[in-house]
Each structure stands twice: as structure tokens, then as C-alpha cells.
Amino acid sequence: DHGTCFTSEECADNGGTSDGNCASGFGVCCTFKVSTCGTSVTRNITYITNPSYPTAYTTSGTCTYTINRVNDNICQIRLDFDNLVLTEPATGECSNTNTDKLTFTSPSGYVPPGSGGLCGDNVSGSH
């Protein structure tokens, strides 16, 4: 895992987990993880897992996570998928009929062309 260098007190106060040392031992590598549907992500380098991780999430319905920018100077976000396995599309394309799909929306509702969602097997480094 990758994290952010904080003092151990800052890490604990912000809800993180200490995962090794940094800054020549003056800080800790602090990681943030969320796994509850409806959770808001408020920190850089946060790991999102399904509520059933490491097993498959089989609950029907929608599981939503909100990613908030850390400050107003942020104009884009980066998502790295370590492991994202969704049902393969029957037609070769993600569509509204797919039962498993990862979709993205912005507060304004704008969805860039071609970003209707991800489906299928998306292993590390594929997106």
C-alpha cells in the first residue's frame, strides 16, 4: 500500500492506519481505507474496497462512494484499480443492461463522452 507521511498522532486523528515509517523515522506512512457503501472519501491516496472484501460483493442494488477533492485547486482525480472484477458484458460493451458496472458522475451531472462506465475484468494497470 501507498500512503501519506504524517505524525502518528495526525494519522490516528484523521482515521488512518500506520503502515511503516517515513521521514527518517519522524513520521508514519498513513493509509486510509473505506469499505462501507455511502462513504465519502476525503483524503488523497484512499483505498476503496467492497464491504465483503476480499470475497465478492453479492448484494443487489447500488453501492456508492463519494470522492471529495481535498482542496479547490484540484481539477481532476486519478483512480488506480488494483483489482476490479465485474460481470463481463454480454454484447462486448458496457450498457444499461449490465448488472455489474462502475459508473462515474460529477456534482454538475456532467459525464464526459466515452465514460459511461466500466464492466468486466479490470486488473491492475488496465485503466
For the full predicted model, state whether its pTM sits above 0.85: no
Asked if pLDDT for residue 123 goes beyond 70, the answer is no
How far is it, in rounded angstroms, from Cα 115 to Cα 81?
A: 16
Read off the C-alpha cell for 113: 463522452
| From 19-28, 39-48, 101-110, the region with the lowest mean pLDDT | 101-110
Long-range Cβ contacts of 120-125 (<8 Å, 24+ apart):
120/86, 120/87, 120/88, 120/89, 120/94, 121/84, 121/85, 121/86, 121/88, 122/81, 122/84, 122/85, 122/86, 123/81, 123/83, 123/84, 124/80, 124/81, 124/82, 124/83
The C-alpha cell of 3 is what?
Answer: 500512503
pLDDT digits (tens, 9 = 90+) for 26-74: 999 999 999 999 999 988 889 998 888 888 888 887 888 889 888 889 8
pLDDT of 16 > 60? The answer is yes
